[in-house]
Amino acid sequence: MDYSKAAVVVCLTLIIVIGFNIILYVSATRDKSAGTIELLRRASQRARHPWEKEDNDLEELSRIASKLRNQIPGEEDQS
């Protein structure tokens, strides 16, 4: 096993983990704790329903297209 490559991987992993912990610590110690809580709430909501915004947009598009089809008199469905 090549120990130099393993050492590089371990060092990069440690740097990433320590950097992430620093970011969490800084965001937790700021005065904007309500903003952090709101950010975490939105992230958890997005994780539960990852396509919610796209689904809502497609539903609105479908509703508008249906409304337009109903407004055109005498047009037959071409499909």
37 shares a domain with 63 = yes
Residues 6+ apart with CB under 8 A from 27: 36
Q: Strand, coil or helix: what is 73?
A: coil
25 shares a domain with 1 = yes
DSSP 30: S
Residues making up the chain, counted from first to last: 79
26 shares a domain with 36 = no
Report pLDDT for 68: 92
| pTM (predicted TM-score) | 0.41
22 shares a domain with 47 = no
pLDDT by position in tens, the chain (length 79) = 678 888 999 999 999 999 999 888 887 777 665 677 788 888 888 888 888 889 999 999 999 999 999 998 765 555 5
- The answer to whether position 77 is within a domain reads no
Residues of the domain holding 65: 32-70
50 shares a domain with 25 = no
- The answer to whether position 41 is within a domain reads yes
User: Burial level of 36, CB count in 10 A (0-12/13-18/19+)?
Assistant: middle
Task: Using only the alpha carbons of the chain, give its radius of gyration.
Answer: 25
